[in-house]
Amino acid sequence: MTGDLAITSLRGGAIDAIRAADLDRKTALAQESATRWFARRVSLRSPLDAALSERPGRPDKPVLTPPTQVEKRSLHTLKGRIALLHAIAHIELNAVDLALDIVARFASEQVPNSFFDGWMQVAFEEAKHFRMVRARLNDLGADYGDLPAHDGLWQAAHSTRNDLTARLAVVPLILEARGLDVTPSLQAKMRETGDLESAEVLDVIYNDEKGHVAVGAKWFRFLCAREKRDPAKAFQELVRANFRGPLKPPFNDLARAEAGLTPSFYRSLASISHA
């Protein structure tokens, strides 16, 4: 598929991937844009780049519903495991668009090229995760789009569209870090049910996500240092201003700390909830 992908620049490729409603094309564009950027075969920006869209391209399904209406099922049933994998596929798809959006939206920021290296690595891996989870759904006789999903991830990101430091606080350091908290127990439950193939997919995602949180923490600290702000204090202020809802324990303190997100960032926020 890579032969027919006309990529004007890194920003252009990211925008085209975000806009693509065909998910095979979206993930192919994300990965090919990353590959060409890593090889320095494309520039960062071009006058030919399309306009950044307000919302990512999506197929007709899944139907998007409020998070409270997404049904929870036991992992001890096939339906329950399909529902969990479907929810993870939806998270990973949003993560592809969010990583690309950081690159496209903030391509004019005064940051080193290694900033874009990091986020395109994230985009490449999130595309890989989406494909892996979708393939596993197919193995179980299902597909992405069969069940409803919620729109909370994109809404959380949209509120930080004008502030890179706030975007880094909310997306990698809250939403991605949450994956480090919940995935180990999901892996264990999948193994308990005998679904070792799904557990292996979760293993890949979990190990990669540590790196994604680390990319977020690295650049959050970089921007705070440049602005002479205390990173933990800045994180708390930005979360209070830009994130609705509480930070829920339990926290995977070890995995978070390995990624550069220490308890001083998030512990004091755990008991705070916003109306």
Report helix angle 113-139 to 10-19, nearest 10: 30
Is 250:185 a contact under the CB 8 Å cutoff? no
User: Which residues, including other chains, have CB under 8 Å from residue 248's CB and lie 6 or more apart?
Assistant: 270
Residue type at position 260? G
What's the alpha-carbon Rg for the chain, to the nearest Å? 18
On whether the 64-269 domain is CATH 3.55.40.20, my answer is no
pLDDT score, position 246: 78
* pLDDT at residue 274, rounded to an integer: 43
In degrees rounded to 5, what are phi and psi of residue 197? -65, -45
Give the pLDDT of residue 150. 85
Rounded average pLDDT per 10-residue block, the chain, 275 residues: 73 97 97 97 94 89 79 85 95 96 94 97 98 98 94 79 94 93 94 96 96 97 97 95 86 95 91 47
pLDDT at 200: 97
Residue for token pair 């002479």: 228
For tokens 């759904």, name the residue.
Answer: 137
What pLDDT score does 70 carry?
67
Per-residue pLDDT at 248: 86
